[in-house]
Homo-oligomer: A and B are copies of this chain.
Amino acid sequence: MYELGVVHRNIQRADADITDKLAAFGTSTVHEAMGRVGLMAPVMRPIYAGAQVSGTAVTVLLQPGDNWMLHVAAEQIRPGDVVVAAVTAACTDGFFGELLATSFKARGARALVIDGGCRDVRALTAMAFPVWSRAISAKGTVKATLGSVNVPIVCAGALVYPGDAIVADDDGVVCVPRSMAASTLAAAAKREANEADKRARLASGVLGLDMYRMREPLAAAGLRYVD
């Protein structure tokens, strides 16, 4: 956040087993399981539909119009990581494209989440390297000013520490702090366990009003029915 010109090489990553299991639950369930916090702003969209990933965060703090630190970050990637990049000021330039994606993928990265722009989206789609970004832009960037790698960052309104678990899908991106990964996984699994039954009942025509016993609190809140 506040350190510029620094690369932290040793970071503590969230447990790989736990992190890997979060993907299947998706962001909406994981975000609920955390108590409805940790979500990035909805301006973060996937460059193609259908990707659903989780991984441990390698964080990058970029300067506007400058992607130098993404190259620095590549060296810090380990298999199972998701690179999460913020910019010190709002900027939609295309910081990331096919060549960097090739490098990130070779290092084992599963995805990029960037509070800025992305380009070469056709190529990225073809190589199945998912990116969640604020914009798509062909605008190129320079390599002139230092940012940082593996410092705490704020990405699209969410605080991300290096090593946190990241979950991303068509609904958005959520950051699970490393210390909450296990409890979040448990809570997500518990939520999901109930959902199949709820889905079946709702599909059969049972109303949420009855299934969730809402009629009484609604009446208590003063809801009136008019014929």
Interface residues of A (CB under 8 A from B): 1-2, 4-10, 26-28, 31-32, 34-39, 41-42, 45, 48-50, 52, 63-66, 68, 71-72, 74-75, 88-94, 97-100, 102-103, 105-107, 117, 119-122, 125, 135-140, 142-146, 152, 154, 157-159, 169-172, 174, 177, 180, 195, 198-199, 202-209, 212, 214, 217-218, 221-227
Set of chain B residues within 8 Å of A225, measured between Cβ atoms: 6-7, 9
> Do the beta carbons of B71 and A91 come within 8 Å of each other?
no
A140-B28, A171-B120 known; A102 vs B203 contact (CB < 8 Å): yes
A2-B37, A138-B28, A171-B94 known; A224 vs B102 contact (CB < 8 Å): no
Set of chain B residues within 8 Å of A171, measured between Cβ atoms: 94, 119-122, 136-138
Set of chain B residues within 8 Å of A105, measured between Cβ atoms: 203
Set of chain B residues within 8 Å of A138, measured between Cβ atoms: 26-28, 31, 39, 171-172, 174
> Do the beta carbons of B37 and A88 come within 8 Å of each other?
yes
A37-B1, A171-B137 known; A92 vs B89 contact (CB < 8 Å): yes
Set of chain B residues within 8 Å of A136, measured between Cβ atoms: 42, 45, 170-172
Set of chain B residues within 8 Å of A63, measured between Cβ atoms: 65, 142
> Do the beta carbons of A74 and B4 come within 8 Å of each other?
no
Set of chain B residues within 8 Å of A65, measured between Cβ atoms: 63-66, 88-89, 91, 145
> Do the beta carbons of B28 and A119 come within 8 Å of each other?
yes
